[in-house]
Structures are given as structure tokens and as C-alpha cells.
Structure 1
Amino acid sequence: MTDLLLKVFLPSSLAIIMLGMGMSLTIHDFTRVFRQPKAIIIGLFNQIFILPIIAFLLAILFHLDTTMAVGLIVLASCPGGPTSNIIAQVCDGNLALSVTLTAVGSFTSVISTQLVTSFALTYFNTHTGTTIELPVLDTMFQIMMITMLPICIGMFIHAYKTNFALRMLKPMKIASTIIFILIFIGIVATNFNTIGQALKKVGIVTLLLNISIIGSGFLLAKIFNLGSKNAISIGVDGSIQNATLGIVIATSILNNIEMAIPTAAYTIWMYTTGGILMWYFGKKKQKRIPSTK
């Protein structure tokens, strides 16, 4: 059931949602982002540098054992997950920035994830004798098929069937929220025992990591005057990790199932805080829209 959820339902659902997101985007949205790259640089800095640093500090502060510490760093070194795009859209963030951060962050993680994980193994005196080689081509292909291709198709529809694309914006946002909730329920239901054990071991640490990186994203955006929409995208993208890749690194590459425990715990928190952000910013957006009655 877990494999069906992670390998079939989740990717398919995300691809459909990305198609809907593409219908709300134009090429101009992306050119505007790249013409003012400060938001991209800050977002990537938050994801690639700040997140692993916070994870290291928490591992040391809470005196985590070697396995849990390395597992936490592995999680923090992973790129952002495409679910962040769903949350950013519902929160009324800068969707083009969110998509860009997910795509660029995934490609740069081919190097950064290996460097951070290798350093963690050395620092915490874990000698596995394993060479870390990420599934680069598979990861890139997966990202392209789940995110970029559906978004491009959606943008094509927006360009040539504009009225249809605009009519679909509200239904697709509703569908995004429903699918997000179903994914959350499905992950909890199929991994209930594992998640329970994970929360007992590193629940507080992973919660602090999640809240800290969201706060860091919003703080950096405020310091550099990036605006609320960019702040939402940077905060959300920093907090939503590619949990699947984290589990693959821990179990398949490092051959240590226990190292996947922090990822399991963090998954619950990132979907929980993501849901709270969707509710909070969705509510704020409704207050800004004048009543038609």
C-alpha cells in the first residue's frame, strides 16, 4: 500500500496539480523572476545552506546519537519537494518562484546533498565505507515528468485557451487542497507505527527544524525586502523536503533503515505546518477579497 501511495498515487496527483498550476502561469512570470534573481538566490541559500546548518546545530544541541544525527542531516541536505508548489499556490505565494526554487534546488542538490551527507558521516564518526552516488538521471527525469512537463502543458493551455484556463483556477486550487489532505492522511495511515516511533525519538528535533527553516525563510525575505508573496514561497520551499530521496539515501545508499527515522518524523511536521500555512494565508486572502453580496 505504501509503494502504491508513494510511487503511483502521489506522483500522478502532483502531476495533475502541476498541470493546473501551469494554467495560472505565463512565460512573463518566470522572466520576471529571473530578471530579479535576488529572491531565487535567497531561497536557494535558505534551502542549501541554512537548513543543513540548523540541522547540525540541533543534532549537537539535543545530543542525538550518531544514527539519528546523520539521518537528520541527510534529510536537511535533500532538495525541496514538489508538494511545496501546491502549498505556495494555495497560500497565494509567488508560484513561479516556488517552481523555480524546486527545479533549480533539485539540480544543485546533486552536488550539495553528497557534500553535506559526506561531511555528516565524517563529523559524527560514521565509517560506512560507502561512496554516495545519487540517482542523478532518475531524479532529474522524475522532477521533469512530475513538475516541469505538466506545468509547460498548463502554460500552453493558458496561452491558447485562456478563458478555459482562468475558469479552471478555482477548481484546481480546491483540488490541490483536497489532494494535499488525502496525501497527508494516506502517509499517516500507511506508516502509522513507523511514524509513531520516529516522533518518540526525534519528534521535537524535527519539529524545531521545520519551524526554524520556515521562520528563516520569512526573516530573510523581510531583511531583503522581497515582499510577502516571495516570503511565502521561500519559507514553504525551505520547509518541504524531498522525503522520498531522503529515505532512498538512508536505506539504499547508506544501508541503514534507522537513519530514515528523522525523515519519517519530519514528513508529518512538514505536512502539518504546510496545512496550517494553507489555512492561515487562505483565510487572509479571503478577507482581502470584498464580498459580492
Structure 2
Amino acid sequence: MMVSVDEIRLNFNPASLALLNGVLAFLMFGISLDTRLEDFRRVSRMPVAFAAGIAAQFLALPAITFALTLLLQPAPSIALGMILVACCPPGNVSNILTHRANGNVALSVSMTAVSNAIAIVAMPLNFAFWGGLHPTASALLKTIALDPVQMVGHILLIIGLPFALGLWCANRFPNWTVKFKKPVRIISFLALIGFIIGAIAGNWRYFMDYVGLVLLAVVLHDALAFGTGYAVARLAGLPDYDRRALSIEVGIRNAGLGLVLIFSFFGGLGGMAVVAGVWGFWDIIAGMALAGWWARRPVQGGMPAAAVGERA
């Protein structure tokens, strides 16, 4: 008889977890090497797009995810995993996919930078709010006794400090940054994917037993995430060029960060870990498919002349 997904704990030894934290910090360092102070100033010149992106990521997506868990009624740990992923910041893969989709790359890069900074505080608070409000998953939070302040500290160490260090290096040593930012970004991303694969391989039996429980939820959840970004951008009156960027920005979540937090604070809780592991691969596959579909379709209203020049 198969054990309930809420009762299993995936295995990830302390040494591997410490290394995973280091890899994620290195990934954030790589993201920030591609960030300039101008990216933060740029958002002030497109306040509507910025407000729409923040609202879609930190307000709309967690609320819609909460509603989806009530509709699907998955196991409590699966619901908690879906809420955690929805509260994660975007990953830098969104910038690459936005370029492929002929979307506003400048907006995507700026949103990634600003959203990761905001997530340091917003993510644990958002997760504690929606998780605590959930009729079944809230019992797990009480059992675990999650401390949002402790989670903020952890996120600050693996996101905030590496991001600040990379931003400082990018602006203090621009020549070095130009030379090394691409290798750093590629190596850190491949290392993160390697660890996600390792986490799945080390717990293969659990993933095979329970992936059927989460696959439909992840597919629907990710589709709603992409759709939420697009819908909020459209409601804000943004052009197609910006809508593509925000759709991908909201659809691509940093599930690697979610996996780190699951092993650090939830003891590898089964449903949460399986959701984050499946999401880590599925949203890239779905994002590539969406970006490829948009790449074959002209941007409604055309692309700005400056953007066309940059892509030439």
C-alpha cells in the first residue's frame, strides 16, 4: 500500500543541501552580473508595465494558485508546494525566452532584477499568508512551525547578498563582467539543473509513485501563471510587445529556490518536493514552446525601432 504523499520525506543529506545553497547563490550572482543600476532606473520610465508585473507576480498569481488548490483539492503538501512555487521570484531563463518570443527584453531584465529584490521580503510573507489561509495545508504549517523571519534571513543569504555582490561587480568591474558573465550564468544554471536531477534521481521511487498526483496540477498551474501575466498586462493596456514579456516573466518561477527552501525548512516534505521538482522542468519546456509559438508570429503594433536595432 502506497504511503500518503503528506507522510513521506525525500532524502537530501546536509552536505548536498549546503552545496545546493551555494549553487543557488552562485546562480543569483550570475543573474546580477547581467544587471545594471540602469535596469532599476528604467522601471521608473515604464511605471504601468512595472506595476502590472509586480501585481501579477506578488498579488494575482498567489491568489489564483490558492483558488486552483481549492478547485483541485490536492493533498495538503501538494497544495503547499504549489503555493510556495507561486511565491518564488522569476528566474533569468525568462529573459532568454522573452528575447526568443520577440518581447520586451529590457522590461523582462528589469522585472527579474526588481522582483528578486522584492521577493526577499515578499516571498516568505506571501507564503505564510496564503499557506496559513489554506483549509488543509495550514495544518502542515502549524506542525512545521514555519518562522517567516527565519526564511527571510535564509533568502537574504542565498539571494540578497549574492545579488548585491554581483550588482557591485557589474558596476565596479564592467570589463571583467563582460568577459565572465556568460560562463558564470551557464555554469550556475547547469549546476542547478544537475542538482534538481540529482534530487529526483536520489528519490526516484517517490517521484515515480507520486508524479501522477502532481503532473496535472503543475501543467494547469503553469498555464495559469503564463495566462495571469498576459491577462494582467492586457488589462493594464500594455502593447503586445510588453504582454509577451510579462507573460513569460510570471510563468517562469525559480523552482530551484523553492526546492532549497523545501529541504531547508520542510524536511523534504513529499508533495512539496515533487511539485517543485516537476515544475523546475515543466515550466522551461512550456516556456520554450510558448516563446517558439510567439517567435513565428509578428508583434501586434510592431516592435519599437530601438528594439529592432538591438536584435539586428
TM band (smaller chain) = 0.7 to 0.9
Pair 233,176 (structure 1): closer, same or farther in 2 beyond 3 Å? farther
| Aligned residues with identical type, % of pairs | 18
Number of aligned positions between the proteins: 275
Aligned match of 1:87: 94
Pair 223,145 (structure 1): closer, same or farther in 2 beyond 3 Å? same
Q: Check conservation: 1:198, 1:262, Cα contact below 8 A.
A: no
Aligned match of 1:246: 258
- SS of residue matched to 2:40: helix
Pair 29,246 (structure 1): closer, same or farther in 2 beyond 3 Å? closer
Pair 256,179 (structure 1): closer, same or farther in 2 beyond 3 Å? closer
How many angstroms apart in 1 are the aligned matches of 2:231 and 2:22?
37
Q: 1:264 aligns with which of 251, 262, 277?
A: 277
Q: Check conservation: 1:214, 1:236, Cα contact below 8 A.
A: yes
Aligned match of 1:41: 51
Aligned match of 2:130: 116
Please list the CA deviations of residues 156-189 of structure 1 after superposition, one character each: whole Å capped at 9, or x if unmatched.
344xx5xx87xx48x8568746764564355235
Q: Check conservation: 1:218, 1:232, Cα contact below 8 A.
A: yes
Q: Which runs of 5+ in 1 are unaligned?
A: none
What amino acid maps onto 1:204 in structure 2?
Answer: L
Aligned match of 1:96: 110
Aligned match of 1:32: 42
Question: Any residues of structure 2 matched to 1:217-256 within 5 Å, and which?
Answer: 217-228=229-240, 230-247=242-259, 250=262, 253-254=265-266
Shift of 1:88: 1.3
Taking structure 2 as the reference length, the TM-score comes to 0.70
Shift of 1:18: 2.9
- SS of residue matched to 2:237: coil
How many angstroms apart in 1 are the aligned matches of 2:257 and 2:24?
14
Shift of 1:191: 1.3
Q: 1:60 aligns with which of 70, 76, 81?
A: 70
Taking structure 1 as the reference length, the TM-score comes to 0.74
How many angstroms apart in 1 are the aligned matches of 2:115 and 2:311?
34
Q: Which runs of 5+ in 2 are unaligned?
A: 1-14, 100-104, 299-307
Q: Check conservation: 1:44, 1:105, Cα contact below 8 A.
A: no
- RMSD of aligned alpha carbons: 3.7
Pair 179,234 (structure 1): closer, same or farther in 2 beyond 3 Å? same
Pair 118,246 (structure 1): closer, same or farther in 2 beyond 3 Å? farther
